[in-house]
Amino acid sequence: MNYDVVVVGGGPSGIQAALSARIAYPDRTIALVRREEIALQIGALSHVLGSLGSLGESIFPDRFLTQRDIELIVGQVEGCQDSQLRLHDGRKVSYHKLILALGGRPEPLAVPGSDLPGVIEFTRDYDCLKRLGEALVSVRSVMLVGGGRTGVEITAELTRSGKEVTLVESKAHLLSGLVDPEFGQVIEDELIRIGATVITGYGVRAFAGRQSVLGADLADGRWVTADLVILAPPFRPATQLAEAMGLRVDPANGVIVDEYLRTSAPGIHAVGECAAARSFFATERQRTTLMSEAMAQARLAGSNLFTINVAKSYSGSLGSFSVKAGELVLGVTGLTELKAASLGLQCMVGLAETTDRHPPGISGANKVMVKLLFDRCSHHLVGAQVVGGESTGECVNMLAVMVQKKMTDMEIDTLQLGTHPLLTPSPLGYGVIAATVDAVRNWTPTERGLLVRPIAAASAATATPRKGRSDSAARSK
Amino acid sequence: MNYDVVVVGGGPSGIQAALSARIAYPDRTIALVRREEIALQIGALSHVLGSLGSLGESIFPDRFLTQRDIELIVGQVEGCQDSQLRLHDGRKVSYHKLILALGGRPEPLAVPGSDLPGVIEFTRDYDCLKRLGEALVSVRSVMLVGGGRTGVEITAELTRSGKEVTLVESKAHLLSGLVDPEFGQVIEDELIRIGATVITGYGVRAFAGRQSVLGADLADGRWVTADLVILAPPFRPATQLAEAMGLRVDPANGVIVDEYLRTSAPGIHAVGECAAARSFFATERQRTTLMSEAMAQARLAGSNLFTINVAKSYSGSLGSFSVKAGELVLGVTGLTELKAASLGLQCMVGLAETTDRHPPGISGANKVMVKLLFDRCSHHLVGAQVVGGESTGECVNMLAVMVQKKMTDMEIDTLQLGTHPLLTPSPLGYGVIAATVDAVRNWTPTERGLLVRPIAAASAATATPRKGRSDSAARSK
């Protein structure tokens, strides 16, 4: 078998890369090789056990590819030589251009008892989810290990479906490394409000049980009972094939790629979880862990295969995502205050509190908290964290556009943004504008002279959850 | 009475201008003069008769001003001379800087019978809303005259509350001049779906009744029965005071202002509905009719009074708003295809259909339609129309940022945007990206050479509602 373009990997980044290649190169032959018989929409899997209703809903329909003249080959790639992939059953697939979308695999968890029946690792494949779904039918108490995005969302879904759920995270806060502590705390509070138990700061020392798991000993000596344990560890890049092919690989972060997602070998690209791209803010390469990053990489790689469009280069991984827990949505883009500090970026913080409908007394209004970070030198927006209702999912995309376009505080303050009583904060207190004004007022020249809030005051926010200050535009009432 | 800053007008632009002045000039004395005893949050008034629950919820709390050391003066301004306002009761208010936020008044409707009891003009003041609320208690059938934003939203609210509502719009489509016809049609279909009657293309010839209105004769001879008629005409700028003060006024569009919202007289600014600012796209001055425009003007005028910050100039009125009717939300920013054509702008159109949750089978998913317009020369995004669920209110703000930052199709295609099963379209079919790809694929160089879709094909969309084409990235399944 011989194709102009071959994509290895059936996850979202592989699919998107194949689709983008199809649009950019309508006359080329394209094949997608994946090892799974049944492919899942992996972005939705945390919700298979709840909102999504059934596992069937999450199955990726193969006709989505075949209708677009993308050949689907199911098989495990065992090696690659002279522009030819070798599959487990001896089939050979030749390519002119290759896109590796190899995905990731869970970080191993070295905890005694992990092999007990009833301890299931959330590996994102069909069999795992089927087993989980079956196991859940008969259990009452569930323990989630890992307070990242997956752990938080599964905890919320299972709690809502009536299980007794305990979420255990060894770091001091949920979503550690992804959000500033005060936002991790907001999510923790919401999980507790809907009925979950949350333990942070102590990991699992050992799982215990006989025929099946009965619970776990935590590092602080506590015992947590559980009929079922779900491990939700972070994923690491799956780079085995890339290493075997002799590509440059940073084992911790993935296959090394440039701004066109090209690897060290000509004609071979890598995208998504297996790829180590540069950060948007620093030159270091980093893991690709977010769908927003993987999709942009896949679109760009797919359309820069035989030709290069310089306007379509990857600007570096930004870190945009949203998480829903209970009634709350948390959206994040760019740097957190902690991450900015670790990079040596001096930032001004702007805060605002408002409601996502107005006037605040209207039914269905959720509280909104906005935290913006502006670079002190350039005044560019470099990061945003928002908590609110469901519109937060799109609100944070607006903020992601602002960061990617390097918008300054003044530019944001001059924006015309629409408001609507049933859909957004008040025109007098639109959260993003109000938080920008909060940042600006502390460093712009006033009639009294230049007034700049000391950095210490801003970074104090990382230590204690700060309340939104009484900014005159921050409240809509 | 003597103040550094005096704002005339108690609507949202007056309030926002006073708040922004307070932040920019913390040491100045500021007063706001308004004629209403009770001020309302006028952006929310279409919903007072429904979602908002009660008129009381929409009352603007005066403490919002007084707590920020902004003096509130209730009185009708009758004239102005030598930097001194004269109120109806003889009081005098002197200013150093003046901001006029005079608002608008309904366009007169020259229809016989408009003075019958039971015909109420929606004037946005407390007394009008109180009368309307009282009248609604005892009526069954209501006729709305005017299919603009207010007419559409009141129709939706009253229909939902169980009234028999007929909406009459003399133009061929609802939201005429604000959206392209196919989007007016989508809103019309939704109003009909929830139970309203919609008549477009024929205006009212005369209202008829004796003690009270009984109905109306339409231009096509039809008779529509109604126990109550609500007139929702467009508003025109209230410029009487500005004219009396000798300011340059364009009677149709308002008080003429520059990019710092300065009028023709030194020290006097005008903002909001009474101000005629430039369009974002053309040099013509136009009416300010949208909250998004009025709020930006007010923020800028308020902070550019005694000092000028060149980074904070008004970039011209963009036209961003959202409307909710039934379950649908329509969001618009920038140019429509019709408006672009009338300005002589040659545009490429990109379309996409998707769902606002994913996979599409998930409960609560709404259909999403996106229409984007890109300038053929610069490839800048110049306009967007989106129909979807409640997240459309923020999604269109993201698009408004893109238009204001003059983003190109390629820049949008390289963006990292977050997706979430419960909050946004699928990562493989995020509507804004998919519609951009739809526009791009028709004019980017391909291996076969440059392929540009003829303009005729794009503008045909204005004649017949076009269906989203089967773009390979447009569907999430």
Over residues A189-226, the pLDDT tens digits come to 999 999 999 999 999 999 999 999 999 999 999 999 99
The SS3 of residue A65 is helix
The whole-number pLDDT of residue A444 equals 62
List all residues 6 or more positions away from B201 whose beta carbon is below 8 Å from its beta carbon.
B169, B170, B171, B172, B220
pLDDT at B54 (0 to 100): 82
Instruction: Give the distance, in angstroms, between the CA of residue A277 and the centroid of all CA atoms in the same chain.
Output: 15
Q: How many CB atoms are located within 10 Å of the residue B54 CB?
A: 10
CA–CA separation, B250 vs B239, rounded Å?
9
Q: What is the pLDDT of residues B149-168, one digit of tens each?
A: 999 999 999 999 999 999 99
User: In Å, how far is A87's CA from the nearest CA of chain B?
Assistant: 27
Query: Does the beta-carbon distance from B322 to A473 stay under 8 Å?
Result: no
**Residue B44 confidence (pLDDT):** 84
Q: Which residue has the tokens 């902004």?
A: B70
Q: How far apart are CA A272 and CA A294, in angstroms?
A: 4
| Tokens of residue B112, six digits | 């016989």
**E strand or H helix at B214:** strand B213-218
Per the CB < 8 Å rule, is A313 touching B27? Answer: no
Yes or no: say if A200 and A169 are a contact pair by the CB < 8 Å rule.
yes
Which of A12, A25, A397 faces B417 most closely, judged by CB atoms? A397
pLDDT, average across residues B416-441: 94
Say yes or no to pLDDT of A362 above 50: yes
| pLDDT at position A406 | 97
DSSP-assigned letter for residue B466: P
Specify the pLDDT at position B442. Answer: 72
Q: Which of A253, A381, A386, A272 is nearest to A321 (CA)?
A: A386
Cβ pair A52:B411 closer than 8 A: no
First and final C-alpha spacing in chain A: 67
Query: Would you place residue B385 in the very low, low, confident or very high pLDDT band (cuts 50, 70, 90)?
Result: very high
Mean pLDDT of chain B: 91
Residues 6 or more apart whose Cβ sits within 8 Å of residue B117 = B209, B211, B212, B213
pLDDT of A450 higher than 80: no
Residue B241 pLDDT > 60, yes or no? Answer: yes
For residues A322 and A310, what is the distance between their CA atoms, to the nearest angstrom? 30
Residue of A64, A424, A445 with shortest CB distance to B393:
A424
Query: B361 vs A53: CB contact, 8 Å cut-off?
Result: yes
If one compares B456 and B288, the residue with the highest pLDDT of the two is B288
Phi, psi of B205, deg, nearest 5: -85, -45
Mean pLDDT of chain A: 91
**What is the Cα–Cα distance from B352 to B149, expressed in whole angstroms?**
24
* Per-residue pLDDT at B99 exceeds 50: yes
Contact flag A420-B68 (C-beta cutoff 8 Å): no
Q: In what helix (H) or strand (E) does residue B288 lie, and over which residues does it extend?
A: none
Q: How far is CA B230 from CA A122, A308, B145, B205, in A?
A: 58, 59, 6, 15
For the stretch A367-420, pLDDT in tens is: 999 999 999 999 999 999 999 999 999 999 999 999 999 999 999 999 999 999
pLDDT surpassing 70 at residue B203 = yes
Best residue of A354, A394, A472 to probe chain B, by most B CBs closer than 10 Å: A394
Q: Is the pLDDT of residue A476 over 90?
A: no
Q: Which of A290, A405, A417 is nearest residue B400 as measured by Cβ atoms?
A: A417
What pLDDT score was predicted for residue A368?
Answer: 96
C-alpha triplet B385, B389, B390: angle, nearest 5°: 100
Contact A443, A455 (CB under 8 A): no
d(CA B149, CA B146): 9
| A315-327 pLDDT, tens digit each | 999 999 999 999 9
d(CA B232, CA A110): 69
Residue B143 contacts residue B226 (beta carbons within 8 Å) = yes
Does pLDDT of B459 surpass 50? no
| ipTM of the complex, rounded to two decimals | 0.92
Domains of chain B (ranges; CATH) run 2-105+236-303 (3.50.50.60), 108-233 (3.50.50.60), 330-463 (3.30.390.30)
Which range (A42-51, A150-159, A225-234) has the least confidence? Answer: A42-51
Counting every residue, how long is chain A?
A: 477
Q: How far is CA A249 from CA A244, A277, A422, B307, in A?
A: 10, 11, 50, 55
Is the Cβ pair B401, A405 closer than 8 Å? yes
